Amino acid sequence: MSGRLLPVPAGLALVAAACLYSPPDQLPSSVRLLYSKLDVDSLGESTNIWFVVARKDNELRLTGDEGEDTQPFFAPGLRRVFFTRRPPAGRDEIWSMDLDGNDERRVVRMEGADVRDPAVSPDDRHLACTVIRDGRSQVMISDVDGTNPRPLMVGGGSSSQPSWSPDGRTLAIVREEGERRRIFLIDVSGGVPRPLAQADAENQREPDWSPDGTRIAFTRGAGNGAEIAIATVTTGAVTRLTDNSVEDRAPAWSTTGERIAFVSRRPEGKENLWLMDPDGENMTDLTDYEDDEARDPDWL
């Protein structure tokens, strides 16, 4: 089933196909998202990459191989989607495909290690990802085709979840400090990482830069205490955007900076996609799955 489009609900195929075959700036709505979806049915579970445009239910599945496909990342200059694939009984690998789901290619595979968290640089020349080996994670940078890999030198401890600044000079990464996870900023060429929000005592993860490079959205806290927050890059000042008794996580800025997509376990405990303004207002649900779950949003 690799490399071809899969069926969509009746009446949606033409709309979804038209969206997929148009350049992102010509799509008919400002809401254009890739995400991973855990499908649950009588035959079991599967996790694949999906595409949704404009409204609920207007969606298309892009992958369908056995195994799990997660963490889609769209590189607009290349017009390709990079994602994490775990084959059956295998380890995580980085793959890429066209926006219509065709031309799948394996980009990074490492013997004895998991490779995940793909992030393509703004100039489309480099790929950052996380390599996990023997329980320790490390951010790696390679050419965009996976060649010439090198570790990002961040000192001791584990590092993961790289996110490029819009100018391509800085990476936001997550470092583990004992039982805590903190977001640090580091020059792409290496150097001494600096904490994003030194005064914030909560766990931090899943950073995503605003398009203008002035703010970083991230997940703050853990479990049902996890909320979406924003930190100002220059000052480290933190503003919490969500505040409830369910887990909110995985924020992703829209390409214009006008909206933030995120994953929430509201209202019934299943992970679904939600949208909000950067001040936390105007929250709306984009999916309302009762059995399935939606994760890993990334904007086109």
CA-CA-CA-CA torsion for 120, 125, 130, 132, nearest 10 degrees?
140
CA–CA separation, 127 and 183 (whole Å): 19
| pTM tops 0.85, yes or no | yes
CA–CA separation, 225 and 243 (whole Å): 8
The H or E element containing residue 291 is: none
The H or E element containing residue 16 is: helix 13-20
Closest CA to 221 of 238, 201, 207, 241: 201
- Does 267 sit behind a cis peptide bond, omega within 30 degrees of 0 on the bond before it? yes
- What is the residue-level pLDDT of the chain in tens, covering all 300 positions? 333 333 333 333 333 444 444 444 444 456 789 999 998 775 678 899 999 886 677 888 999 877 899 999 999 999 999 999 999 989 999 999 999 899 999 999 999 999 999 999 999 999 999 999 998 999 999 999 999 999 997 777 799 999 999 999 999 999 987 788 999 999 998 788 999 998 888 999 999 999 999 999 999 999 889 999 999 999 999 999 999 999 999 999 999 999 999 999 987 889 999 999 999 999 999 999 988 999 999 998
- All structural domains of the chain: 13-299 (2.120.10.30)
